[in-house]
Every structure is written in structure tokens, then in C-alpha cells.
Amino acid sequence: MADEGQNYSMFNSRMLVDVVGDVTDEALKASRIKDIIGVLAGRVFNWGQRKSLFPLHLGIKCCALEMAAAGASRFDAERFGVFFRSSPRQCDVLLVNGPISKKFADPIVRLWEQMPEPKWCIAMGECSISGGPYFQSYNILEGVDTIIPVDVYIPGCPPRPEALIDGFDKLRQKIIRIGAVPSDARPETEAPLIIGDE
């Protein structure tokens, strides 16, 4: 990752690292060790990524209470590794649980940008899927997918906590199928997963 903005004062042997890096990479590829490591490590990292999905502690409207109920003791989402963090840097899933008004459009895009790759977006509830009961309003965007690429849609107003946990299950199935690739590298043919219609 040769980012030119580095002002490391330490020894910066970018050129040497690049050369050595390429040579060893070629050697590993030739000896097929890269495949072995790639496949085995890929399985372990895929397991790690899908078993610990940290959603962002972001409550917009009513679905936020269902998100809290899912985190509480009756529906306990933490059984599946869902642990709510409040800083976007430490989250993988942006759980959008309410209508996106024009005023909140660019803060939520900034939140999405702050999250490190690989990241996913779950649109929870009618308001984030299509504006919900407020689709005619002058101040509401018709769905989060107008501004953020969405991976899993959970219909319902509000969806029951079981549906939210099933949404996380759908996301885990997606990760096991496609792998934890960064959000911009995902194949275009990815049809949105709508729960309950298959």
C-alpha cells in the first residue's frame, strides 16, 4: 500500500520492500504454497468474520428499540456474535433502523465511510428499505439504498427481533458464499436478499 502521504520519519525503504515482496510472492505462487495458505487461512478468516459481526450502536427510530430488544435477554443476539459498538471504526455492519431524512443523509454517509472494509449494510424496517409510511414526505429519502449499497433487507414495521437475528443469519450465509470481500469489490449480480420471499 504505497500511500504517498506518509510522513514517517523512520527509515522508509519502500522501494526495497516492494522488490523483496514481489520476489517472494512469485516464489510462493510458483510453489503453490500461496494456494494452500490462501485456502486454509481464507476458511479461518471467513469463519472469524462471520462469527463476530459488530453492528453500530445507531438508533434512528422504532426499529432501534427492536434492535435493543434483540440485544436484550429474551432474543439475545449476542449468542451469534452480534456485539453493539458505538464507534464506526470498530464496526462491520451499519444497521440502518429508521427513515433517512435529508438532514441525516450526509452524516450517515460519513458514518458509512468511517467504517473499515469489509463492511456491510443491513436495511432494517420499511423506512430504511423504501421510506416506509413516510415515502411521500418532503424530507425523507425513499430508502437507504439511494445513498448506501445495502446487502440485506429486513422488511417489517418494525421487524420482530427474530427477523433481525434472521437478517444477521442471512448476512452470515452471504459471507460464507461470497467471502468477506470489500464492499466495492462485490459482484454486480448480487441480487438483494429479501427475507421471507424465498
Partner 1 sequence: MAEMWISMGPQHPMTHGLWTLKVKVDGETVVDTEPDLGYIHRGVEKICEARDFTQITTYCDRLCYASANTWSHSYIYAAEDLLEVEVPERAEYIRLMAIEIQRIASHLMWLGAYGPDIGNLSVMVWCLREREMMMDLLQELGGSRMHYNFPRVGGVKRDLPHGFAQRARAKLKLFLNRIQEYEALFDESTVFLVRSQGVGYAKPEEMVNHGVTGPNLRAGGVNYDIRWAHPYSVYSELDWEPPVERSSIKGADCYDRYRVRVEEMRVSASLALQALDKMPGGADTHHEPGDPMILAKAPARAPEGTTGAHHFEDSRGESMFYIAGGGESRGKQPYRVSIRSPIFITIPFAAKCMIGYKVADIPAIMGSFDPCIGETDR
Partner 2 sequence: MGKIVPIKTQRAEADKLAAAISEIDGVEAEVAERVSGTNPRPVVLGNSSPESWRTLAEKLHSEHGVDYCSMVTGVHWPEGDEDKKWEIVYHLMRTGIRNPPIEDGLVQPVIVDPSTVRGSGTPLELELHVYLPETRTPSVDSVQDIWVGADWNEKETWDLVGIDFDGHQGMRRVLQPHETPKGFHPLQKQHHLRYHDFQDMYDDSQGFMRKPADAGKIK
Partner 3 sequence: MIHMASGDWLNIVGWSESLTSWSMDNVHDILPSNDIDMQVTIPSTWAWPEPITMGPIFNLQQGFASIQPALESFMHATIMCTVVFTVMMLTMLAIPYIERKFIGRLMDRLGATTTMRSLWVGESGVTAGEWWKQLPFGMGIPIGWVVNLLNSYWGNSHELETVSRVNNRSYHGYWFLLPGFFQAFADFMKFATKEHIVPKNADKVVFETAPVIILATTIMVFAFVPFGPHIYAANPELSLLFMMAIFGVAPLGVFFAGWASNNKYTLIGGMRSAAQLTAYEIPLLITVLGVAVLSGSFNIIEIVDFQMGQNEGNVWNIFLLPLGAALFLITMIAEVERIPFDMPEAEAELVEGWWTEYGGIRWGLMFAAEYMRSYAACILFALFFLGGWEAPFQHTLAGLPIVGGTFETVFTVVPGLVWVLIKAWLLFAVFVWIRASLHRVRTDQILEFGWRYLLPLSVVNLVVATILRLEVWTGEPWDLWVPVALTLAALVLFVILAIDEDEEALEVQRRPYSTQAVVKASPGSHRD
Pick the closer one to partner 1 by CB: 141 or 180. Answer: 141
Pick the closer one to partner 1 by CB: 88 or 155. Answer: 88
Query: Taking CB under 8 A as the criterion, which residues in 119-178 touch partner 2?
Result: 135-139, 141-142, 146-147
State yes or no: residue 133 binds partner 1 (CB under 8 A). yes
Query: Contacting partner 3 (CB under 8 A), which of 2, 15, 89, 136?
Result: 89
Binding-residue total with partner 2 (CB under 8 A): 13
Among candidate residues 170, 178, 127, 166, the one with its CA nearest the CA of residue 152: 170
Binding partner of residue 125 among partner 1, partner 2, partner 3, none, CB cut-off 5 to 8 Å per kind: none
Pick the closer one to partner 3 by CB: 72 or 146. Answer: 72
Distance between CA 102 and CA 138 in Å, rounded?
9
Residues at the interface with partner 3 (CB under 8 A):
5-10, 32, 35-36, 39-40, 42-52, 72-73, 75-76, 78-81, 85-87, 89-90, 92, 114-118, 162, 165-166, 169, 172-173, 176-177, 180, 182
Residues at the interface with partner 1 (CB under 8 A):
56-62, 64-66, 68-69, 72-74, 86, 88, 98-99, 101, 103-104, 107, 111, 133-134, 136-140, 157-158, 160
